[in-house]
Amino acid sequence: MIYLDNAATTFPKPEYVYKAVDEAQRILAVNAGRGTYQASRNAAALLTSVREKLALLVGCSFSERVVLSPSATIAMNQIIHGLQWSKLSNVYVTPFEHNAVIRVLKQISDRYGFEIRLLPFDGITQKLNETEMQNQFALYHPDVVFVNHISNVTGVILPVQKIFESAKQYCAVTVLDASQSLGLISCDIRQMPVDFLVFAGHKNLYGHIGIGGFIQCSQIKLNPFLAGGTGSDSLNPDMPEELPQRYEAGSHDILSAASLNASLDWLRDVKQNHICQHKKELTSYLIDELRNIRQIMLYLPEDTGQHISIVSLTHKEYLPHELAEILDMDYDIAVRSGYHCAPYVHRLIGTEKGGTLRVSVGYFTEKSEIDKLVYALKELSS
């Protein structure tokens, strides 16, 4: 199989990860921090290690602010349900947000009656209209602003700094969806005014599916959305005040944590800048080759310097799902078709009818694999 669906989850994983999970399955697959015996203490130490490495990666001084959850989606639910809302809340999202944000906000807005407002981006250039955003903020002061760091549909890198700095003029809560960016490009919270950063362990952090979370980057306190056992303060029917226990109910997935702990070591050794450069080169090569196929339409930002990893396209003769099926059945090439769980972006770029075919490269993607995809697309276009 030629795997080009790395925006969904990176595959394969580093050898570090496979070895670590195998070892954890044999000697660490116990309930972390719930017992005084050595294996339980070792499992708890593993979780501490994961938090410390993630904190270091984003420039956070307090590893206890790293909250682990089963996925970025659950982490986003914890944040959104944990914030204070009212009918008067002004909530802003970009057109590039994932349904992990949009559907949760829809539930909350149905309950409280507030409006979800779209930040103004151009459908052709995929650039932010800063003047119009400032006018929006002045008219309807933002209370909470959500920004997807890298679009999982078009691969555009959004101007997080500009949006959040403007939002902070009104003391808005800022939430960064770093599911596609953490591990690939800089997510230094010391350089941008972000209150909550959400991450997915199985994408550019190269861990297994089953672990994600959020980092509380400021003093803003959430109401616990999940409740249950934490192994601490067990006679108290309320969730504990201390972090991260306040937001972590139930037993941890220690095997997924072991995968992330190992992949973070791998990222340190390989170096994020090297991974980023490699993926930029692959993406640029892919785009150059696809531009030679007349039947293909590409949906790219105008500024290619603010783009990485992900290329969405449509074909004049095939619907995206038809093309994906043919590539799978006839060429053993794995890509993604459809709307990619991101509803608003397709209205922006004009792909509401059928969505797009998404090609997303990873660190382990080889140039020869891109050549095979291009050959297949050329053959289907002849």
Domain check: are 290 and 242 in the same one? no
165 and 280 in a single domain? The answer is no
> What is this structure's pTM?
0.96
Instruction: Give Cα separations from 275 to 183, 318, 371 (angstroms).
Output: 9, 33, 20
Asked whether residue 299 falls in the same domain as residue 255, the answer is: no
| Domain co-membership, 178 together with 121 | yes
| Cα–Cα distance, 314 to 63 (Å, whole number) | 43
Q: Based on the structure, what is the number of domains in the chain?
A: 2
Amino acid letter, residue 101: V
Same domain, 285 and 220: no
Residues 98, 232: one domain? yes
- Dihedral sign, Cα of residue 21, residue 27, residue 29, residue 30: negative
- From the list 30, 34, 66, the residue with the least C-alpha distance to 50 is 66
Same domain, residue pair 204 and 276: no
Are 247 and 297 in the same domain? no
Query: Last residue of some domain: 244, 269, 294?
Result: 269
Residues 362 and 245 in one domain: no
Q: Are 333 and 366 in contact (CB under 8 A)?
A: no
Respond yes or no on whether the N-terminal peptide bond of residue 12 is cis (omega within 30° of 0).
yes
Q: Are residues 111 and 227 in the same domain?
A: yes
Looking at the structure, do residues 131 and 115 belong to the same domain, yes or no?
yes
Task: Look at residues 207, 240, 269 and tell me which one is the last residue of a structural domain.
Answer: 269
341 vs 152: CA distance, rounded Å: 9
Range of the domain at 217: 15-269
Of 184, 222, 197, 219, the C-alpha closest to 360 is 184
Domain boundary among 269, 285, 316: 269
pLDDT in tens, the chain (382 residues): 999 999 999 999 999 999 999 999 999 999 998 888 999 999 999 999 999 999 999 999 999 999 999 999 999 999 999 999 999 999 999 999 999 999 999 999 999 999 999 999 999 999 999 999 999 999 999 999 999 999 999 999 999 999 999 999 999 999 999 999 999 999 999 999 999 999 999 999 999 999 999 999 999 999 999 999 998 888 899 999 999 999 999 999 999 999 999 999 999 999 889 999 999 999 999 999 999 999 999 999 999 999 999 999 999 999 999 999 999 999 999 999 999 999 999 999 999 999 999 999 999 999 999 999 999 999 999 8
